């Protein structure tokens, strides 16, 4: 058992079950720094929306380590008086050890991504993570098939479609939700992208009967996302879309010369980062509206 914090964090098991039963999806948004985390939590509270904060191994290293990420999130939950359900989730944990490290630090949910291994090894490792997670009341996400594009941890997936039989086997391990490859990719979607494979999603959902996770949620057309939700997707991962919104707002601020010393200390990081901060909040609010989870964190 790892170090314990006085924490308001919850695991995502009930959040995802509720979403699947009521045909909406909870947003998983990656946290890239303190401002990112604060803007997401503030907007979740303002809109009474449950939220899953995701951190990949690279993001965790950039921020300063597992313990610092947990301490930062817990401190913000207290200082901002956050009362909506909040999960802190390890995104694309690449090894059993990284999942255990996150659990020991105080993450309330982890993803073990063994999709780059043969299925037998993926299944074996997932079972080990599930066993350890359940001892600590932590929820678990696994993955079958692969998500196209490059993950934040540098792993590149070719975009293989998930196998329903493998999905059914994976569910038997005791996982709480399942990421599947259905033609989705990480990062911006290229021209000529054929769209999500809804038949594959239907087949996998029929076999697994569990909340599905749609990775690469940035840039998928709204009507496709809504259809995926109707077919069992209960968690949608977004990172690129918020990054683009942040950069666009920051670029506009700089192009307008507001960061120049002669313009009233516009170079102050608190002023420089504010347009991006507000852009994150606005994009988050828009996305949760059509995910259907907005307002679902009440009481």
Catalytic positions are 91
DSSP secondary structure letters along 197-244:
-HHHHHHHHHHH-SEEEE---TT--HHHHHHHHHTTEEEEEESHHHHH
Using only C-alpha atoms, the chain has a radius of gyration, in whole angstroms, of 19
Asked whether 53 and 43 are in contact (CB, 8 A), the reply is no
Residue 24 and residue 6: Cα distance in Å, rounded? 30
Q: Indicate if the alpha-carbon torsion angle 253, 254, 259, 261 is positive or negative.
A: negative
Q: How far is CA 132 from the centre of its chain?
A: 21
Select from 59, 25, 9, 11 the least CA-distant residue to 213: 25
Cα(228)–Cα(129) distance, rounded to whole angstroms? 28
Tell how far CA 229 is from the center of its chain: 16
Contact by Cβ (8 Å): 275, 255 = no
Give the CA angle between residues 296, 79, 102 to the nearest 5°. 75
Cα 156 off chain centre by: 18
Give CA–CA dist 159/274, Å, rounded: 36
Residue with tokens 């039963």: 21
């Amino acid at each position: 058992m790892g170090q314990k914090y006085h924490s308001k964090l919850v695991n995502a098991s009930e959040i995802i079950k509720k979403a699947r039963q009521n045909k909406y999806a909870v947003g998983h948004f990656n946290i890239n720094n303190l401002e990112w985390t604060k803007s997401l939590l503030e907007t979740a509270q303002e809109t009474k929306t449950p939220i899953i904060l995701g951190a990949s191994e690279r993001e965790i290293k950039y921020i300063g380590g597992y313990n610092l990420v947990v301490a930062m999130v817990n401190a913000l939950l207290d200082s901002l008086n956050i009362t909506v359900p909040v999960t802190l989730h390890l995104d694309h944990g690449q090894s059993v050890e990284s999942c255990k490290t996150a659990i020991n630090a105080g993450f309330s949910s982890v993803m073990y991504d063994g999709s780059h291994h043969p299925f037998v090894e993926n299944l074996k490792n997932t079972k080990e993570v599930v066993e350890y997670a359940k001892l600590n009341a932590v929820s678990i996400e696994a993955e079958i098939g692969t998500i196209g594009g490059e993950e934040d941890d540098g792993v590149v997936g070719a975009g293989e479609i998930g196998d329903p039989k493998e999905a059914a086997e994976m569910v038997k391990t005791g996982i709480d939700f399942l990421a599947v490859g259905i033609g989705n990719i990480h990062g911006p979607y290229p021209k000529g992208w054929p769209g999500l494979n809804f038949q594959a999603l239907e087949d996998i959902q029929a076999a697994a009967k569990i909340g599905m996770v749609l990775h690469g949620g940035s840039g998928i057309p709204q009507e496709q996302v809504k259809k995926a939700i109707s077919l069992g997707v209960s968690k949608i991962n977004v990172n690129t879309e918020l990054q683009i919104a942040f950069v666009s707002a920051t670029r506009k601020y700089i192009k307008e010369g507001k960061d120049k010393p002669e313009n009233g200390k516009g170079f102050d990081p608190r002023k420089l980062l504010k347009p991006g901060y507000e852009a994150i909040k606005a994009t988050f609010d828009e996305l949760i509206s059509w995910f259907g989870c907005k307002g679902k964190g009440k009481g």
